Amino acid sequence: MDKILIVEDELIVARDLRKTLEKAGYKVIGVSRTAEKALSMIQEIRPSLVLVDIFLKGDLTGIDLASRLNEEDIPFIYLSANSNQSVLEAAKSTHPYGFIVKPFRARDLLVSIDIAKYRYEHNKELNRRSQAPSTGAASLTDTASVTGTTSLTDTAPPIDPASPAREPGKNRQAPVKRFAFDYADFIGRSAIMLKVFNQIQQVAPFDTSVLLLGESGTGKEVVANHIYKESGRNHRPFIKINCAAVPSGLMEADFFGYEKGAFTGATERKQGKFELAAGGTILLDEIGEMPLDIQAKLLRVLQEKEIQRIGGNTMIKTDIRIIAATNRNLEMEIAAGRFRLDLYYRLHVFPIVLPPLRQRKEDISLLIDHFIDHYNRTMDKNIAGVDKTVLQRLVDYNWPGNVRELQFLIERSILMADDDTIREIILPEEHPDLVKNIPAADSQKAIEEIEKAHILSILGQCNFKISGKGGAAELLNLQPSVLYAKIKKFGIKKFFY
């Protein structure tokens, strides 16, 4: 990407962009203040990349120009400081190769261009492979299961979403290839999941920030695990922080640490999680719950690569990769003043959207198979499969709680099974045809009710033991602090269980 076109109506910004790019060895083929002029310039000299402001002089916006650039297969990066929700959503719909927030720094600009270059070349290679004549190997367009060690051209037979994952008395399919995680393996053969797998492979080797977006239960933490394991930082710490589980008053101390005497009770120096993660990776789960004052401090970490302990006078250099995850609509949060626009752009360098289970129902039978295998091992059961009628009900259901809800229901059904076949499964009271149309807020409420019921069930199994060997936190695969936070969130009292 040695030839770059700048489309920016602020002359000072355009001048700074040109100076930074030329110093880095790029050739700037021109500067345009309008989309109309930019289109004319593109016809004369085809740029390798376009830096385009969203709002320009003239009748066309940068978003209008982006649509034309997509038609010409020219990659582009947005420049913007706009926080309007509808504008952000319109910009996202054009699939840019990056966002740069104004005011920008030279390092941020050059890193964004490097990432855009890699993504563009990678996408071209994937398209080339998918369009190549078949030579006995399957193409990327074939439905396939994917592992972290095989290429995306590996294939598996197509599967009907209504076909049994494992019918009792019948031979099983060949073992399903999958990412080599713990029991929460990320499994899928659907086209929409292949896209996610491609994105993971694209971004994992880089140190860039990643933003994982998706409904509750879609597997955001599993994706974060895989990005970490496939990165060059996999020998360094991987610290996971649930922003909703850390009290706002303790968040700064937990993140950045404190000096002795910084506040009452600070009897000794303590390193924060960002300092402990030096050289490694931090997952900020539920980042949409982070207070604005901590967002400002996180932005400094991303920009300056340094932190300051509470009560400290010196800045501490830190080298960490940030992976953030949320089930919130951050554009709405920005519009409501609850999330910083500049932080959004810093994190949105490489977004990955996790699809809900209702959009990949062809994966349901694979997931059922996987969960049966897992709970057969952990519960010392020998469930052979699910009844065909039950499987059809599971496929027809709309899954507001996504893969997590499916996992809970399979676990419960295995516990209740009278023989080696799951012949009955208890779905939520809502009828499937009504669940499809419930508002997003009600859907989230349904998810929380399912999660609360499952936590209550596990607490009962553990005789109310939360931490330690055989405790509810271990069975739920949660940190005890996260489980305590959920118990508080759901209002679970001891007399309930």
- Please tell me whether residues 9 and 122 are part of one structural domain: yes
Which of 320, 353, 386 is the last residue before a domain boundary? 353
Whether 39 is in a domain gets the answer yes
- Please tell me whether residues 52 and 114 are part of one structural domain: yes
Whether 123 is in a domain gets the answer yes
User: Could you tell me if 426 and 409 are in contact, meaning their C-beta atoms sit under 8 angstroms apart?
Assistant: yes
Task: Give the pLDDT score at 362.
Answer: 92
Q: How far apart are CA 398 and CA 145, in angstroms?
A: 23
- Please tell me whether residues 48 and 101 are part of one structural domain: yes
Angle, CA of 201, 207 and 211, to the nearest 5°: 70
Residue 356 neighbours by CB distance under 10 Å? 19
- Please tell me whether residues 344 and 197 are part of one structural domain: yes
Which of 127, 145, 178 is the last residue before a domain boundary? 127
- Please tell me whether residues 123 and 198 are part of one structural domain: no
- Please tell me whether residues 389 and 323 are part of one structural domain: no
Domain containing 430 equals 359-496
Biggest alpha carbon–alpha carbon distance for the chain: 75
Whether 301 is in a domain gets the answer yes
Side-chain half-sphere CA neighbours of 92 within 13 A = 19
Record the pTM.
0.66
Task: Give the pLDDT score at 325.
Answer: 96
The series of mean pLDDT values per 10 residues for the chain, 497 residues long, is 89 92 93 94 94 91 93 91 77 86 80 82 69 43 34 34 48 39 61 88 87 92 92 95 88 93 89 94 95 91 88 92 94 86 82 93 92 88 90 90 88 86 77 46 60 74 72 78 81 52
Q: How far apart are CA 169 and CA 172, in angstroms?
A: 9
- Please tell me whether residues 417 and 475 are part of one structural domain: yes
- Please tell me whether residues 204 and 316 are part of one structural domain: yes
Per cent of the chain over pLDDT 90 is 38
Task: Give the pLDDT score at 352.
Answer: 93
User: Could you tell me if 137 and 153 are in contact, meaning their C-beta atoms sit under 8 angstroms apart?
Assistant: yes
Task: Give the pLDDT score at 224.
Answer: 94
pLDDT in tens, 101-158: 777 778 778 888 887 887 788 777 766 665 655 443 333 333 333 333 333 333 333 3
Whether 407 is in a domain gets the answer yes
- Please tell me whether residues 340 and 389 are part of one structural domain: no
Whether 15 is in a domain gets the answer yes
pLDDT in tens, 344-354: 878 887 889 99
- Please tell me whether residues 42 and 67 are part of one structural domain: yes
- Please tell me whether residues 366 and 437 are part of one structural domain: yes
Neighbouring residues of 389: CB distance < 8 A, sequence distance ≥ 6:
none
Which of 298, 332, 353 is the last residue before a domain boundary? 353
Q: How far apart are CA 357 and CA 217, in angstroms?
A: 9
Whether 159 is in a domain gets the answer no
- Please tell me whether residues 365 and 441 are part of one structural domain: yes
Whether 482 is in a domain gets the answer yes
Neighbouring residues of 324: CB distance < 8 A, sequence distance ≥ 6:
209, 210, 211, 212, 283, 284, 287, 347
